[in-house]
Structure 1
């Protein structure tokens, strides 16, 4: 019996002994243990979908933002495209997906596109949709460039051009800086910026804002007067967005006060208005001495009838056509687009050819598109050309950074 009891005791120990091992195995099954073990293993290789395996699990790829939005800059308005747009207006495009922060240059591009589309729709109700659309296109992109230079970042490359060169850059190769350099037209403003600048008033505020792009020009000398010009035009740009006369007048007054401080630091003899001391006396002195108080130095009346080298130098520089009376916008646009990229010695001949060809095209246009109020098209040559020269091309109001030659003195 003792032997049998000992045998039963050993068998019981064999049955109970594994219990600690079971407890150890259960401890290893911690609810997060499997996850922790998987994190230590290398990631599984994804099957090659091209080799017939199952489709891989898509991974999140960081978004890469381009430097230019799709659709920017808007295309140069052509006659067929404008007619098609007005007959069958397209639905508004979806809003572009912009990054949540930074990338302000993309937001400026989106704002320009949002501004251009309703203006194009408005032009469809205009008696001359094409010139209206082209004016809107140019105005929107000029304002875009003004905004670009209002921040301390790299500006859109076409904005470094002016006038016809800027239009060609935006039109021909909006994505290529090399093309922009190839069509760059060198120009110089008409002498130095007038000093002192006129006092902003309700009478001259339109010229301050409307002709601002023509006054900017290349950077001036690094002296107090040159710095005043650059700072003041920059500040005017901000004020013109809201059409605020108070803002412009404050910028003018503060700019002159800073000019007097800077001049005192580099000269022993200050400008005589600075010697009047701060206050109203100094302001009246500067206002009275302004050579162009109306900010109208860039306003001119030109004749496009006989465009010679000097006039083409004006037309190929920064300009702003101040009339939409047909056929001036069409003829001037065709002339500058075709002739300004040519060498100076070839521009005059090109301009005459473009005018003649443009007149033939206009006279072949159906009367419901252009009615020729002066009846020039009904005449034969050379009377027809003479009629166009006197009735339509003789006195054209133009804003220009480069002063045109006096009438009859184009060489």
Structure 2
């Protein structure tokens, strides 16, 4: 009984609180309830109350169905008196106002020949983000990293597009591709350096990561999304275009810190690059010239190339050589030649893109049909016509082939007279010299009787005015054979002369 006053005081206090809350049936929020803390503490500190300190079940008194309570969060002002964002209830990447209130056009898509013009044309009509003024002071870590990555990439694109005035399209595309790859690399590096939810594409590696970024791009065509020109924002990371990795033969190796002599030497070397890449896709209209004049198209040595700086040229040369080897096998077939050469061509193109998917523009196409069409359109000889006309041969060709004729296709009479007297003359004088020496030699051979070779003796049986023409045919037959041998030797050439 001695503890009854303490229990009575606690009960009265509880009933007062419940009664004050029940007065307003339309109460929808929490309101402040005041009580005398000192009086309560005096009662609770009485010795008699120590015997009654045990856990009590108050669920029947505090049934939430009878007392509905709506919790409303009110953000306290910050030090400067401005209202701050909504408090975070989870990881910090989920904090602050909804992400839709601070949209970022992220990620950017891979530059291609199809969107390169829009990249340069609409660069000042795509958004930039002033990080400090666009976002709240705290939170939104990943969105800020995305915005900074977009700012950097757009700034780098500007560098590439300004060079477009003097560069070829392939060079500008190569520059933009390098900028985009750096954009992916730097963003994933920054995103993984903090304890935050990692962007999904950054969990991948290699080409899978790049393809993932490309697929996620909200504006893959780089169209204009801003009505008014935006203010450029300088990049926070430097970008240096490495032209050595570009895949077009016309691109000169470039080194920003090389001395002037090395620059001039490399530039002159690049101007002498001679390779027909990529070859056009075989078609029914081109199959005759493709197979009929294959020996007239060159193959390429790769050992002649420098050890570094021309890996891209070596890969192109090897691809051409493998395609021509496949053509040679297919052209021997009697049926299905077109299907065979097309499979050889497409297979080698796919193989090439496995190693050069990041630097050759056509390899960036997701669809194989688009990729093949791009390669065919970039070919300098898509219908195999440029090498289809063999050079005209004449007696003047003896000057280049006489050694091969004497060694492998002897005609039975010496050619030193032609070489010694006609070859030193200018080109326009050789024909007259050759005709004169041929007539003199025909008379001499026919007057020698049985000492002439059998083929020449047959010519000597003809009327005298026809004898030089007959001997000329013997010579031209040897010239043809020697010329084919010379072409085979010259067919495999260095792509960098």
TM-score, reference length from structure 1: 0.34
Which structure has the larger Rg?
2
Q: TM-score, with normalisation over the residues of structure 2?
A: 0.29
